[in-house]
């Protein structure tokens, strides 16, 4: 048997370690990558959750960027001076900017939720508090109870609106949905997904076509879905390859905004994880 030279073996092992070190990302580099992706799609709450969990593993915890603090202080100032919804909206806009710079910042999520509640954006406030709870704050019990209060306020507001609207002026839901379909017929909604690829949704009558545009500008249709309501689901997820041990999509939900300007695409994975992308109308 041919003997291996110890010096050659050591050199080989050193090269393996060196290559591994070059390709390995530090926790901060991973965080920077996540934040860059989030800034392309700020409504990706699944990614926000991933960032919060990732930061909880970092030692020491990352510092809050100065730009985030600037937006946070501006938001607090706008909130303090707010006398109506316009003031609240200014504050919310600054909190959102702060949370794009520091998506793991617990206090910013909490203060944003307070402002969203004042602006009667109950769903948004619930989403902000859910992310706040994920940061494992000391007052998690109070935060969860506040979510229950927000749900009650939302339900109460809906009932009051329903009771105050005369039946004669409330259009049937089907007519409203049909009018929305007519409005968005022929529209294209897009969302960049990285590496030069863009996900495309085309509306043709009652059909939503799901496709991909490659970096070379080539369009590939993946699937077609019947639009049965403003929010509808399907377990047809397209011809995606399934690799052993790798989670894959098992169901889609599509939500068309009331004004028809965007389509939200949500999915759930075989391992229970979820994701979301917002596709905007290309006017």
pLDDT over 70 at 16, yes or no: no
pLDDT over 50 at 49, yes or no: yes
Q: Which residues pair with 213 in a beta bridge?
A: 198, 219
Q: Which position has the token pair 């392309």?
A: 40
pLDDT over 80 at 216, yes or no: yes
pTM as predicted: 0.53
The mean per-residue pLDDT over the stretch 56-81 comes to 96
Residues 6+ apart with CB under 8 A from 64: 102, 105
Render pLDDT for 175-190 as a digit per residue (tens, 0 to 9): 899 999 999 999 999 9
- CB-CB contact of 246 with 234 (8 Å): no
pLDDT over 50 at 136, yes or no: yes
Confidence at residue 25, expressed as pLDDT on a 0 to 100 scale: 86
Q: How far apart are CA 268 and CA 260, in angstroms?
A: 24
266/16: higher pLDDT: 266
Confidence at residue 18, expressed as pLDDT on a 0 to 100 scale: 46
- Nearest alpha-carbon partner for 213 in 225, 230, 226, 201: 201
41/169: higher pLDDT: 41
CATH number attached to the domain at 1-170: 1.25.40.10
- 8-state DSSP, 4: P
Q: How far apart are CA 246 and CA 237, in angstroms?
A: 16
Between helix 45-56 and helix 27-40 the angle, nearest 10°, is: 160
Q: Residue ranges of the domains in the chain?
A: 1-170, 174-281
Say how many residues make up the chain. 283
How much is the mean pLDDT over the chain?
A: 89
- CB-CB contact of 277 with 199 (8 Å): yes
């Amino acid at each position: 048997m041919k003997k291996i030279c110890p010096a050659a073996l050591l050199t080989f092992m050193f090269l393996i370690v060196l290559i591994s070190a070059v390709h390995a990302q530090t926790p901060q580099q991973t965080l920077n990558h996540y934040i860059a992706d989030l800034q392309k799609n700020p409504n990706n709450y699944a990614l926000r959750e991933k960032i919060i969990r990732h930061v909880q593993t970092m030692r020491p915890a990352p510092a809050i960027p100065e730009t985030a603090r600037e937006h946070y202080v501006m938001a607090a100032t706008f909130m303090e001076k707010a006398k109506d919804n316009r003031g609240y909206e200014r504050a919310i806009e600054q909190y959102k900017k702060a949370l794009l710079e520091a998506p793991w910042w617990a206090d910013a999520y909490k203060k944003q939720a307070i402002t969203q509640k004042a602006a009667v954006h109950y769903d948004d406030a619930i989403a902000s508090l859910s992310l706040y709870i994920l940061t494992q704050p000391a007052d998690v019990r109070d935060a969860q109870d506040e979510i229950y209060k927000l749900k009650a306020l939302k339900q109460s507001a809906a009932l009051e609106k329903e009771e105050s609207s005369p039946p004669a002026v409330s259009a049937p839901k089907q007519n409203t949905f049909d009018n929305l379909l007519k409005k968005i017929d022929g529209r294209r909604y897009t969302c960049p997904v990285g590496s030069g690829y863009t996900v495309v949704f085309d509306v043709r009558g009652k059909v939503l076509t799901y496709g991909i545009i490659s970096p070379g500008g080539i369009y590939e249709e993946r699937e077609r879905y019947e639009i049965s309501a403003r929010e509808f689901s399907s377990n047809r997820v397209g011809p995606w390859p399934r690799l052993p041990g790798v989670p894959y999509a098992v169901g889609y939900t599509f939500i068309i905004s009331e004004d028809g300007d965007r389509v939200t695409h949500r999915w759930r994975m075989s391992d229970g994880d979820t994701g979301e992308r917002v596709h905007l109308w290309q006017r």
